[in-house]
């Protein structure tokens, strides 16, 4: 598979001059003696100094490189990752694990002079246990590669994030990702059973178990799921696979207000109906995506026919007071659900655009929705602020905010202000800092506030597992200065 590209490309001639030197020769010599594959070219280093963080798009458009890592290393096994980390520790050079670099918060941006650890050559689907439904896979496998392997055998993992074509299994796990059918299949932390981890000192460990549940003290697997490369490097994973669905149903409804739609979603989930897709859009996003003035709710479920019929029957009962919309809206969403092609052109035209996904209990969602939208709308230069509900649970849901603004001068300051205000509104409402994009660099400055006194435990774990702060320093607000 051809590795997916970034949002935009550097103009021709961007690296004609002013390129910083690569990593020290002593480090490169050790990498060579260890027979590790690496690159120090300007093209490789500039490419690995960014991910899909929207803030970097404007830099790239004018030929500015956000960060210049010193070297890009491309291991093919856990042992090679171990060798690399032992060498980096000796030289005290930071290492940033990277997969498809589809993250939108800067978490896979390798710092200046550091090691960009490109894991995409760990690209093997190792085995499928068709009795237990377990698939063992290396961390650098991309979503389509995994699904093609499984689909050919009648299986699926059911994890389809918007970045499906761009992201790797290791990235899903490192950021606690969510697929668009997560109501049915779960978030990645519900799907992963065990991991191979390489620690900062080069030790290779296994965490988790192929058993569905265990009671052996605290869950060490969860320590690394969502750790974003700060506590260890994920090199292999065992995931739960399921038989492919044999049946599906679709529906669409319109509500007079976003709050009314949220209430219907709550009732559906609390009646133990969990349709694979249950997405509610406010008026702005309904108009933009579907051409409807009211708040559109699109629903899709798949699985065994009996269960799907029962789920969709409950959905119909709880949406009885809503307007029935053309079911083709679901197909329209399916066709465009992974389209992010408009992002780079907007930034290149001077429009600051981003999304902020958070979560909260049903009791706080309406207040959070109004607070965040009103807060974003108050930012000078703001053109639009909108929301949709994208993942739902028996006790709450994920709200996904979108904003677009045109700054008078400094795009970075406007961007940071919008994030600051929106995030504080979320936390003040009782919401969670992130639902599935993780923390990265953009949210690192909020982690201490979000975790409160328990942040000290995270700091202590970092100190114990990575005392030299080699692994992705600054991400999660630990081991370095946040952005």
At 205-227, the pLDDT tens digits run 999 999 999 999 999 999 999 99
Which residue in 106, 135, 141 sits closest to 121, CA to CA?
141
- Do 50 and 75 lie in a common domain? yes
Domain membership flag for residue 5: no
Q: Is 404 exposed, middle or buried (0-12, 13-18, 19+ CB in 10 A)?
A: middle
Neighbours of 284 (CB within 10 A): 17
Give CA–CA dist 412/66, Å, rounded: 13
Residue 202 pLDDT greater than 70, yes or no: yes
pLDDT in tens, 89-112: 999 999 999 999 999 999 999 999
Q: Is the predicted pLDDT of residue 334 greater than 70, yes or no?
A: yes
Residue 276: exposed, middle, or buried by beta-carbon count in 10 A (0-12, 13-18, 19+)?
buried
Residue 279, in any domain of the structure: yes
Residue 1 forms part of a structural domain: no
d(Cα 290, Cα 283) in Å, to the nearest integer? 10
Total tally of structural domains belonging to the chain: 5
Q: Check whether 141 has a pLDDT greater than 90.
A: yes
Q: What value does the mean pLDDT take over residues 287-315?
A: 97
Cα separation values, 225 from 194, 264, 428, Å = 10, 32, 26
User: Where among 89, 121, 153 does a domain terminate?
Assistant: 121
Q: Is the pLDDT of residue 4 over 80?
A: no
How much is the pLDDT for 132? 98
Please give the pLDDT value at position 366: 97
Higher-confidence position of 122 and 342: 122
**pLDDT value at position 340?**
87
Whether the per-residue pLDDT at 2 is higher than 60: the answer is no
pLDDT of residue 16: 85
pLDDT-derived band of residue 314, with 50, 70 and 90 as boundaries? very high
Residue 455, classified by CB atoms within 10 Å of its CB into exposed (0-12), middle (13-18) or buried (19+), is: middle
Tell how far CA 77 is from the center of its chain.
Answer: 24
Residues of the chain above pLDDT 70, percent:
99
pLDDT tens by residue, 431-460: 999 999 999 999 999 999 999 999 999 999
- Give 201-217 as a DSSP string: TS-EEEEE-SSS---SS
Q: Do 110 and 163 have their domain in common?
A: no
Query: Is residue 18 in some structural domain?
Result: no
pLDDT at 80 (0 to 100): 98
Are 398 and 460 part of one and the same domain? no
Residues 145 and 181 in one domain: yes
pLDDT category at 5 given cuts 50, 70, 90 is: confident
Tell me, yes or no, whether 411 lies in a domain. Answer: yes
Distance, in Å, from the CA atom of 234 to the CA atom of 139, rounded to the nearest integer, reads 6
Question: pLDDT at position 90, please?
Answer: 97
Domain limit, last residue, from 336, 357, 389: 336
Q: Do 308 and 365 fall into the same domain?
A: no
pLDDT score recorded for residue 327: 98
What secondary structure does DSSP assign to 254-287, as a single string?
EESSHHHHHHHHHHHHTTT---SEEEEE-HHHHH
**Mean pLDDT (whole number) for 177-200:** 98
Query: Residues 449, 435: one domain?
Result: no
Domain for residue 19, yes or no? no
Residue 74 confidence (pLDDT)? 98
Residue 405 and residue 385 share a domain: yes
CATH code where residue 347 lies: 3.30.300.330
Last residue of a domain, one of 87, 121, 155: 121
| pLDDT tens track for 392-435 | 999 999 999 999 999 999 999 999 999 999 999 999 999 999 99
Tell me the pLDDT band of 130, cut-offs 50, 70 and 90.
Answer: very high
Q: Work out the pLDDT band at 3, boundaries 50, 70, 90.
A: low
pLDDT at 24: 96
Q: What is the pLDDT of residues 11-58, one digit of tens each?
A: 999 998 889 999 999 999 999 999 999 999 999 999 999 999 999 999
CA distance 124 to 183: 28
Asked if residue 160 belongs to a domain, the reply is yes
Write out the two tokens for 204: 């290779």
In percent, the amount of the chain with pLDDT more than 90 equals 96
Residues 35, 113 within the same domain: yes
Q: Are 47 and 92 in contact (CB under 8 A)?
A: no
Answer whether residue 282 shows pLDDT above 70: yes
Q: Is 11 within a domain?
A: no
402 and 452 assigned to the same domain: no
Rounded CA-CA distance 312/334 in Å is: 18
Residues 238 and 253 in one domain: no
Instruction: Give yes or no: residues 325 and 371 share one domain.
Output: no
The SS3 assignment for 61 reads: helix
Q: Which pTM does this prediction carry?
A: 0.96
Beta carbons of 399 and 357 less than 8 angstroms apart: yes
State the number of CA atoms in the 13 A half-sphere of 300 facing the CB.
20
Which residues, including other chains, have CB under 8 Å from residue 292's CB and lie 6 or more apart? 254, 286, 325, 329
| 349: enclosing H helix or E strand | none
What percent of the chain is helix, strand and coil (3-state, nearest 5)? 35, 20, 40
Query: Which residue, among 171, 149, 263, 181, has the nearest Cα to 226 in the 3D structure?
Result: 171
Q: State how far the Cα of 420 lies from the Cα of 425, in Å rounded to an integer.
A: 9
CATH number of the domain at 186, please.
3.30.465.10
The total of other beta-carbon atoms located within 10 Å of residue 379's CB is 19
Which domain covers residue 367, as residue numbers?
343-440
Q: Are residues 421 and 458 in the same domain?
A: no
DSSP H/E element including 79: helix 78-91
Any long-range contacts for 285-288 (C-beta under 8 Å, 24+ apart)?
A: 285/386, 285/387, 285/388, 285/402, 286/254, 288/386
List CB contacts of 399: < 8 A, sequence separation 6 or more.
Answer: 357, 358, 359, 360, 365, 368, 369, 372, 387, 388, 389, 390, 431
């Amino acid at each position: 598979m051809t590795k997916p590209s970034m949002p935009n490309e550097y103009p021709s001639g961007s690296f004609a001059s002013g390129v910083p030197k690569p990593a020290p020769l002593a480090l490169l010599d050790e990498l060579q003696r260890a027979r590790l594959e690496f690159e120090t070219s300007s093209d490789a280093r500039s490419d690995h100094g960014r991910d899909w963080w929207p803030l970097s798009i404007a830099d790239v458009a004018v030929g500015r490189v956000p960060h210049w890592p010193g070297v890009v290393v491309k291991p093919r096994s856990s042992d090679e990752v171990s060798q690399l980390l032992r060498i980096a520790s000796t030289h005290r050079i930071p290492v940033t694990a990277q997969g498809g670099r589809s993250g939108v918060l800067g978490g896979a941006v390798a710092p200046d002079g550091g090691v960009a650890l490109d894991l995409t050559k760990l690209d093997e689907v190792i085995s499928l246990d068709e009795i237990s439904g377990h698939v063992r896979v290396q961390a650098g496998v991309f979503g389509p590669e995994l699904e093609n392997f499984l689909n050919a055998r009648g299986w699926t993992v059911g994890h389809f994030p918007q970045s499906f074509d761009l992201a790797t299994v290791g990235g899903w796990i490192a950021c606690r990702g969510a697929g668009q059918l997560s109501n049915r299949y779960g978030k990645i932390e519900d799907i992963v059973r065990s991991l191979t981890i390489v620690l900062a000192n080069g030790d290779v460990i296994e965490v988790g178990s192929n058993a569905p549940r265990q009671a052996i003290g605290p869950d060490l697997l969860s320590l690394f799921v969502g750790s974003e490369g700060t506590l260890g490097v994920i090199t292999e994973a065992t995931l739960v696979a399921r038989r492919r669905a044999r049946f599906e149903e679709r529906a669409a409804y319109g509500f007079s207000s976003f709050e009314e739609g949220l209430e219907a979603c709550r009732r559906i989930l609390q009646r133990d109906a969990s349709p694979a897709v249950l997405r509610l859009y406010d008026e702005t996003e309904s108009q933009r995506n579907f051409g409807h003035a009211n708040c559109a709710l699109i629903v899709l479920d798949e699985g065994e026919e009996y269960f799907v019929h029962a789920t969709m029957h409950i959905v119909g009962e709880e949406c009885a007071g809503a307007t029935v919309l053309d079911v083709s809206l679901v197909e329209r969403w399916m066709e465009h659900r992974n389209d992010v092609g408009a992002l780079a052109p907007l930034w290149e035209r001077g429009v600051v655009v981003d999304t902020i996904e958070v979560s909260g209990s049903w009791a706080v969602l309406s207040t959070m929705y109004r607070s965040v939208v009103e807060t974003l709308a108050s930012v000078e230069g703001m053109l639009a602020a909108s929301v949709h509900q994208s993942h739902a649970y028996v006790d709450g849901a994920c709200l996904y905010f979108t904003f677009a603004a045109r700054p008078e001068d400094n795009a970075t300051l406007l961007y940071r202000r919008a994030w600051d205000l929106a995030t504080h509104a979320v936390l003040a409402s009782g919401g969670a800092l992130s639902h599935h994009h993780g923390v990265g660099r953009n949210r690192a400055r909020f982690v201490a506030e979000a975790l409160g006194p328990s942040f000290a435990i995270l700091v202590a774990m970092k100190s114990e597992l990575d005392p030299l702060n080699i692994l992705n320093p600054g991400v999660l607000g630990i081991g370095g200065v946040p952005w």
